[in-house]
Amino acid sequence: MDVLLGLQWGDEGKGKIVDVLAPQYEVVARFQGGPNAGHTLEFDGIKHVLHQIPSGIFRPQILNIIGNGVVLDPIILKKEIEGLGKFSIDYQKNLVVSKKATIIIPTHKLLDAAYEQSKGDKKIGSTLKGIGPTYQDKIGRSALRVGDILSPDFKEKYQLLVEKHKTTLSFYNFSVDKLEEMEGQFFEAVEFVKSLNLIDSEYVVNEALAADKKILAEGAQGSLLDVDFGSYPFVTSSTTMTAGACTGLGVAPSKIGEVFGIFKAYCTRVGSGPFPTELFDEIGEAMRKEGNEFGSTTGRPRRCGWLDLPALKYSIMINGVTQLFMMKADVLNIFKEIKVCTQYELPDGEKIDRLSFEITDTEVKPVYKTMKGWNCSLADVRSYEEFPVELKDYVAFLESALNVPIKLVSVGPDRVQTIMR
């Protein structure tokens, strides 16, 4: 099983590349996260944003798995499937859902909002999809799982959990006025989910591996949002790294093959938390505009900045990345000069390149290497040989600094704007 994951703060372009690589695989599987993800695919002039459905769904030969490590919102899944109505996708054949995946219920979303509200200016900037509270219940051993919806006492189990949540919501003085309407949608969506192919996906995955079928695990979010290794507490609530694909699908670590680490040629972050190379000037503004850096899930403007090598090295280390994929190179076309952060300078002047425990709360200054930009369009570039020399230099510099080959460079959102090396 190969794993594809984001090495930064999410939105690196995972959806696009999973769709591009999918023909080489028989199975594509999501292993963590939930509707906080927004994975964009573009082909034949149409743009699609997937939140819960794996990005192999447009390839009819592929089995798409929503694995046990995922948190699933039935309402959003139903809407998503209905939204793809015109593509005549055979969901019985091409999509399966683990019965062991955890369900997001309406009060999880209210709790997410209540927690954020109570944090004031310390808020995480969550997507408000109920991710944190649902994983909290999973680890606290009180959550509902997809398999539970088939049980005759599902409503009682649900009610028990809701009563618990209501106590917490009243502690936070958070209104439950919207709950009744949300519950109507929820139970309707639960009936819909029952009609899907609900399975024990760990068997399907391991039987596929035993039959020498190729599986691609599709990460959501990014390593710098990982609950253990991200800039805690400004993280998501799941294991976004390679190891998460093992627990989130029931696959042994020894079965992991290639680890594709995907990163933007610069950095973006949506939500709060440290971002050493963030640009607050017209350069950052230009990146946001050129890269169309607005959230696929929430529409929020993404914070933008130069590439951060210490952070990238860290992500490569904790994930065991074997191949790097660099995305959105074309966005840097507009710049005469490009900067790359090679170290952080601490307030006392010391220069470091490690992401220590203390770093989240330390104001660090990025130390930059400045490179000449290519400053021309990449729209018609279809092979590495056609790259402008400055882009070749950028790629070569990153490869030598990161010590992992960059095997793919993306120069536009469409499937065809993908250059393999």
Q: Kindly report the CA angle at 147 between 143 and 150, in degrees rounded to 5?
A: 115
Which of 11, 330 has the CB closer to Mg ion? Answer: 11
Instruction: Tell me the torsion sign for CA atoms 83, 89, 94, 99.
Output: positive
Among 6, 34, 35, 38, which residue sits at the site for Mg ion (rule: CB under 5 A)? 38
By CB under 5 A, the residues from 146 to 175 that bind Mg ion are none
Q: How many residues lie near Mg ion (CB under 5 A)?
A: 3
Q: Is 31 helix (H, G, I), strand (E, B) or coil?
A: coil
Which of 38, 373 has the CB closer to ligand GDP? Answer: 38
Q: Which of ligand IMO, ligand GDP, Mg ion, none lies near 331, with the C-beta cut-off 5 to 8 A by kind?
A: ligand GDP
For the chain, count helices (H), then strands (E). Answer: 12, 20
Residue given tokens 């068997």 in the structure block: 203
Residue 129 binds ligand IMO (CB under 6 A): yes
Which of 40, 64 has the CB closer to ligand GDP? Answer: 40
Active-site residue, 148 included = no
Q: How many residues lie near ligand IMO (CB under 6 A)?
A: 24
Q: Which of 19, 39, 226, 330 is catalytic?
A: 39
Residue 13 binds Mg ion (CB under 5 A): no
Q: Which of ligand IMO, ligand GDP, Mg ion, none lies near 56, with the C-beta cut-off 5 to 8 A by kind?
A: none
Which of 204, 265 has the CB closer to ligand GDP? Answer: 265
DSSP string, 269-324: E-SSS--TTB--SHHHHHHHHHTT-B-TTT-PBPEEE-EEHHHHHHHHHHHT--EE
SS3 content of the chain, % helix, strand, coil (to 5): 40, 20, 40
Give dist(CA 146, CA 379) in Å, integer.
Answer: 44
Give dist(CA 144, CA 154) in Å, integer.
Answer: 9
> Of 38-46, 149-157, 199-207, 270-278, which part binds Mg ion (CB under 5 A)?
38-46
By CB under 5 A, the residues from 312 to 341 that bind Mg ion are none
Residue given tokens 């292993």 in the structure block: 31
Draw the binding track, 222-241, toward ligand IMO (x: CB under 6 A; -: no contact). Answer: x--x----------xx----
288: left (phi over 0), alpha (psi -120 to 50) or beta: alpha
Give dist(CA 316, CA 310) in Å, integer.
Answer: 10
Neighbours of 49 (CB within 10 A): 14
Give dist(CA 68, CA 82) in Å, integer.
Answer: 23
* Min separation Cβ 16 and ligand IMO, Å: 11
Residue 109 binds ligand IMO (CB under 6 A): no
* Min separation Cβ 325 and ligand GDP, Å: 10
Residue 132 binds Mg ion (CB under 5 A): no
- 43 touches 293 (CB < 8 A): no
Residue 6 binds ligand IMO (CB under 6 A): yes
Which residue(s) pair with 63 in the sheet?
Answer: 27
Among 1, 37, 256, 309, which residue sits at the site for ligand IMO (rule: CB under 6 A)? 37
Active-site residue, 11 included = yes
Which of 270, 341 has the CB closer to ligand GDP? Answer: 270
Which of 236, 319 has the CB closer to ligand IMO? Answer: 236
Is the peptide bond between 233 and the residue preceding it cis, with omega within 30 degrees of 0?
yes
DSSP annotation of 367: E
Amino acid at 15: G
Q: Is 5 helix (H, G, I), strand (E, B) or coil?
A: strand
Contact positions vs ligand GDP (CB under 6 A): 6, 10-16, 37-40, 42, 291-292, 296, 327-328, 330-331, 410-413
Q: Which of Mg ion, ligand IMO, ligand GDP, none lies near 412, with the C-beta cut-off 5 to 8 A by kind?
A: ligand GDP
Q: Which of Mg ion, ligand GDP, ligand IMO, none lies near 261, with the C-beta cut-off 5 to 8 A by kind?
A: none
- 140 touches 97 (CB < 8 A): no
Which of 138, 264 has the CB closer to Mg ion? Answer: 264
What residue ranges bind Mg ion (CB under 5 A)? 11, 38, 296
Q: Active-site residue numbers?
A: 11, 39
What residue ranges bind ligand IMO (CB under 6 A)? 6, 9-11, 36-39, 124-127, 129, 131-132, 220-222, 225, 236-237, 270-271, 296
